[in-house]
Amino acid sequence: MKDVALGIDIGGTNTKFGFVDKEGNMYGETSISTVKTPPGDVDAFLKYLYKEIEVLREQIQEDLNIVGVGIGAPNGNYFTGTIEYAPNLSFQGIVDLVKLFKRYYDVPMVLTNDANAAAIGEMIYGGARNMKNFIMVTLGTGLGSGFVANGELIYGNDGFAGEMGHILQDPEGRVCGLGRKGCLEAYVSATGIKRTTFRLLADMNAESPLRDISYNQLTAAMITEQALKGDPIACAAFEETSRLLGQKLSDMVAIFSPEAIFLLGGLAKAGDLLFKPTKAYMEQYMFQVFRDKVVILPSALEDRNAAVLGSSALAWKEIGIKVD
C-alpha cells in the first residue's frame, strides 16, 4: 500500500489529476474534459471526476492509499474551500467544492488557485526547496502568481491574495476580463503578447509572416517561433512584454526582496527570448539596494505536470502541518 496525495487541477477546458507520493513521484496522470459535463452542474462534474479518478487508480499496478486531496482551481479559496465567481469556469457564484468533494474522499482536502498551487509545488518538489522567500509567476492565458514569504504562502485575509495579474499596468489601457482596464495580464501573458503583436502589426511597417495570421489563429507559440527566426514584429513583441514584466518584477522585489522569481507556463517556454530581456529590464528598473540579488529561473516543474504536482504538494503540506 503506497500513500499518495491526489492532485487535481481544474481548468476551464480540462481538468487534470494524478497520484503523487511524498517524494514527488507521479503514479498515473490523466485529464478529463471539464466542459463535457452539463455546464454549471457541479454535482455531475464531481461524480464524473470521481469515476475517472477511480478508473485511473484501477489501472495502476500498485495499491494506492489516498491520504489527502489538493485542488487547484481559478478563484479557489484556501480558507473556505470554495470556488468563487470564477469567470472561466461554468460553475456559477460560490461553489462549496471541498465540502461537495469530501463526499467522495473523506480525507484532508485543500483548495487554492492554480498559481498558488504551483508555488507550493515549487517549494515542496521544485527549485524552491530551500527557499523561504520567492515568487512564482505563471504566464498562461492570464498571469497568475503565488508569493511565499517567511516560508509561508500568502493567502491574505480573504484567501485570494497573490493576484499580480491584476495590478495595474495602465489605468487607461487595454480592456481585460470583467471590463476592468489595464491589468498587467492584458500585457504580460500568452494573450498579452498576442495583443501586443497585433498592436505592433498596426504600428510597424516591417514585413512579417504574422501578417497572414488572424487574431483568433495566432498563438504565443507562433510568435515565439517567429522571434527565434528574427522576425522584427515578433522580436519587438517579446522586447515590450519583457520590459513590462521586468519593470513590475522590480516593483515586486522592492516589496518582497525574494531570493528567486520562478516563471512557469506557455509563455515561459520561450526561454531566453523572455528570460534574458526580462532580467535585464528588472535590473535596470531595480531600486539600487536590490540590484544583482534576485535570480529569475524557469520553474523546475516546467517539464512535468506542474499543476497536478502543485495541487498534490498542497495536500502533502496540509497533512504535514496537521501531523506535526
Say if residues 71 and 83 touch (Cβ distance below 8 Å): no
Cα(88)–Cα(205) distance, rounded to whole angstroms?
36
Edge-first strand listing for the sheet containing 295-298: 152-153, 143-149, 134-139, 260-264, 295-298
Q: In the beta sheet, which residues pair with residue 32?
A: 15
Residue 53's Cβ-count burial label (10 Å; 0-12, 13-18, 19+) is: buried
Query: Closest distance between a second copy and the C-beta of residue 287, in Å?
Result: 4
Q: Which is nearer to a second copy, 6 or 249 (CB)?
A: 249
Residue 79 touches a second copy, criterion: CB under 8 A: no
Q: Does 104 bind a second copy (CB under 8 A)?
A: no
Question: Is the Cβ of residue 166 or residue 304 nearer to a second copy in the bound state?
Answer: 166
Residue from 99, 103, 132, 276 binding a second copy (CB under 8 A): 132
Q: How far is the CB of 158 from a second copy (least distance, A)?
A: 5
* Residue 149 is a binding residue for a second copy (CB under 8 A): yes
Compute the least distance from the CB of residue 313 to a second copy, in Å.
18
99 binds a second copy (CB under 8 A): no
- Looking at 104-112, 131-139, 190-198, 221-229, which segment touches a second copy (CB under 8 A)? 131-139
In which region does residue 182 sit, left (phi positive, over 0), alpha (psi from -120 to 50) or beta (all else)?
Answer: left
Q: Is the dihedral of CA 92, 120, 139, 20 positive or negative?
A: negative
How far is residue 147 from each of residues 128, 183, 192, measured CA to CA in Å? Answer: 12, 18, 22
CA distance readout (Å), 272 to 221, 235, 261 = 14, 12, 15
247 binds a second copy (CB under 8 A): yes
Binding-site member from 43, 96, 152, 272 for a second copy (CB under 8 A): 152
Under rule CB under 8 A, residue 94 binds a second copy: no
Q: Does residue number 246 form part of the binding site for a second copy (CB under 8 A)?
A: no
Of 61, 130, 157, 214, the one binding a second copy (CB under 8 A) is: 157
Closest approach, Cβ 207 to a second copy, in A, equals 31
110 scored as a contact of a second copy (CB under 8 A) = no
> Considering only 20-28, 57-65, 159-167, 193-201, which stretch makes contact with a second copy by CB under 8 A?
159-167
> Residue holding cell 503583436?
197
Note the residues at the interface with a second copy (CB under 8 A). 75, 84-85, 131-133, 145, 147, 149-150, 152, 154-164, 166-168, 171, 178, 180, 183, 247, 250-252, 254-259, 285, 287-290, 293-294
